[in-house]
Structure 1
Amino acid sequence: MNEPASREERLELGVELLAHLEREELSLPAAIDRIETVTTSPALTRDILDAAEKRGVIEREDARLRVRRGGTYVNYDSQVVQREGEFECRRCGTSITTGHFVTLDAGELGPFGSSCVRKVTGRDDDAE
């Protein structure tokens, strides 16, 4: 996997990840859980949320986010790639032998285990 090299690339990847969530609304902690797969920097996390709001990707109210997207869910057939190898899940840190990578226009995010990739994209509700 190629790590996003610059702050700007990580910002773009974070905004795009939020734009592709399958949930229309989620708590701020759930959104941060997903953003932490891109960065653990509190300053960059704030910048991602601010940029997403300015671009009309999300609306923030209190500790909730509403995703404003036009059907841009992650397509698991074409945007989630599986690779075999020795990986550590980017979300939970578990050792995995099958890595799931999410391919977005801004870059690739992963590896994730099979359940974590579903949580990161919002397909499973557990990250709420």
Structure 2
Amino acid sequence: MTADAADSERKVELALDLLAHLEVEELSIAEAVDRIETVTTNPTLTREILDEAEKRGIVERENGRLRTRRGGTFVRFESQVIQKEGDFECRRCGCGLSTGHFIRFDSGELGPFGSSCIRKVTGRE
């Protein structure tokens, strides 16, 4: 496997973990893409992620909306979100951060995010 293929596979798994941990029951495709773009902005990879999420039963697509199939899975802020001090740029909004919030998934770490973007990305806001 090439380095690019391995990186793409890692991004797919990270985005699937994120979708599987959303704390909303339904969202638009645009809202899902907003979250996926924290992992990749490649449109081909984004389509692959959405297709794979549906194949694995993470989401159901209907009329431009996604219904999540959570099954009790969500980001545990106490154990899965860590804060790091440093000079960061939020992966969602691009703002400069002195404290970055990172989500730890089995497939890897996603972040940094600001305090409000971490809540938006996980579906808490």
Q: TM-score range by the shorter chain?
A: over 0.9
In the other structure, the counterpart of 1:116 is 117
In the other structure, the counterpart of 1:93 is 94
Report the RMSD for the aligned CA atoms in angstroms. Answer: 0.7
In the other structure, the counterpart of 2:64 is 63
In the other structure, the counterpart of 1:31 is 32
* TM-score where L is the length of structure 1: 0.92
> Match of 1:7, as an amino acid?
S
Distance in 2 (alpha carbons) for counterparts of 1:34 and 1:58: 14
* TM-score where L is the length of structure 2: 0.94
- Taking only the aligned residue pairs, the percentage that are identical comes to 68
List runs of 5+ in structure 2 lacking aligned partners. Answer: 1-5
Distance in 2 (alpha carbons) for counterparts of 1:107 and 1:76: 16
**Alpha-carbon offset, residue 63 of structure 1:** 1.0
**Alpha-carbon offset, residue 62 of structure 1:** 1.5
> Match of 2:96, as an amino acid?
S
In the other structure, the counterpart of 1:76 is 77
Distance in 1 (alpha carbons) for counterparts of 2:87 and 2:10: 25
List runs of 5+ in structure 1 lacking aligned partners. Answer: none
In the other structure, the counterpart of 1:48 is 49
3-state SS of paired residue (2:34): helix
